[in-house]
Chains A and B, each alone.
Chain A
């Protein structure tokens, strides 16, 4: 599987967020997006997921089931955790596993050590715990491309180590990761892309 972007330009609300962004990412490779606030890291991830249309440029994913869009082949961990406070931790994860991947039954909360909280409403989780629950979608549904927007926000050291372990295993299995982060996540990124405000970057 290979993801290639050529001269992507993103315009939001009449403002050019970034232009001429190109990169290539193959199996088992990771790309780190860096840049100041507002440089367009999140916009680029949303654009790759297909939530935003590029104003110009091409985005292609080759070597996967061509019936699926890039978004349908990827996990998108955005700023919002997409959790329902009125549902329990287990119900939240099971819903997304079933909706996104068609997986039956209850999913394991073990990777991020939330099994003790399985039955409490997600509204009672702390910010870090909510993040961990959102990140559990990565293990519950197998998808090749991971789009992670500030995945480390709110995570404690143990959870961060878990996330790094998951990402390393995903890469070893031939998966692709694009992460936007201000801090060094802790895995070896083969590619780095610095988005520098309105200037072109590559």
Chain B
């Protein structure tokens, strides 16, 4: 456990010092959310209706733009291969590094989401479900991203390829995330079942993505 806390601390420190910390993620989030009303016009009813979806897409993009950080730099300077010689399994290394990524990206965005919701004229009643859904769903984004990052490990400027690989996998998270965040309007209340499915997605990615990412990293070195 000592080994893994050292790793998480190091990744947090590096993210903070290299400008990949919470501030940058929130800044990016703010820019996307601000651009949106400029693009689709100041119709507050429309903005209110799409606010949850818009926040989720902004969240998804900010995670996507930062996931290559999880492994790429460590791969380039030889740290990753040295980690393979450590006493902890590669799967746990992936979990720790992804957790550190979530702490610097997913978590701060989920916590600040209501503030940005106000920019999009979100209904007060929808704020709680939105925070809950982003909080529960964002780990899945980080873990799927880590998988993509592991697969595109040796690819220089692999950002586009990475997006191509992961964005389809983000679809279920987005669908259930948005429907869990939408306050029950007309029709049956589907936010609770959606939240449960979203939790299941997060838990499944927590277990499966590290296994797959570790396999991808190992096969990269072979």
Contacts and interface: CB of A to CB of B under 8 A. Distances in A.
B46 interface: no
A30 to B, nearest CB: 20
B221 A51 contact: yes
Interface string B8-35: 0010011001100000000000000000
A96 B82 contact: yes
Interface string A85-108: 011000100011011101010000
Given A87-B10, A87-B13, A99-B3, A82 B87 contact: no
A104 B78 CA distance: 23
Interface residues of B, number: 22
Contacts of B14: 84, 86-87
Given A84-B77, A86-B18, A87-B10, A76 B85 contact: yes
Given A49-B85, A52-B221, A71-B85, A98 B79 contact: no
B84 A51 contact: yes
Contacts of B124: none
A89 to B, nearest CB: 14
Nearest to A53: B222
A112 B10 CA distance: 23
A148 interface: no
A102 B7 CA distance: 11
Given A53-B222, A81-B77, A83-B77, A74 B6 contact: no
B185 interface: no
Contact of A102 (B3, B77, B78, B82): B3
B81 interface: yes
B82 A84 contact: no
Interface residues of A, number: 29
Interface in B37-90: 76-79, 81-87
A104 B1 CA distance: 13
A72 interface: yes
B87 A102 contact: yes
B17 A86 contact: yes
A15 to B, nearest CB: 14
A76 B79 contact: no
Given A52-B221, A87-B10, A100 B87 contact: yes
Nearest to A147: B85
A180 to B, nearest CB: 16
B2 A102 contact: yes
A50 B84 contact: yes
Contacts of A95: 6, 10
A199 interface: no
Interface in B74-117: 76-79, 81-87
Nearest to B13: A87
A80 interface: yes
Contacts of A174: none
Interface of A: 46, 49-53, 68, 71-72, 74-76, 78-84, 86-87, 91, 95-96, 98-100, 102, 104
30 contacts: A46-B81, A46-B221, A50-B84, A50-B85, A51-B81, A51-B221, A71-B84, A71-B85, A72-B87, A74-B85, A76-B82, A76-B85, A78-B82, A79-B78, A80-B77, A80-B78, A80-B79, A80-B81, A82-B79, A82-B81, A84-B77, A87-B13, A95-B10, A98-B2, A99-B6, A99-B7, A99-B86, A100-B3, A100-B86, A102-B3
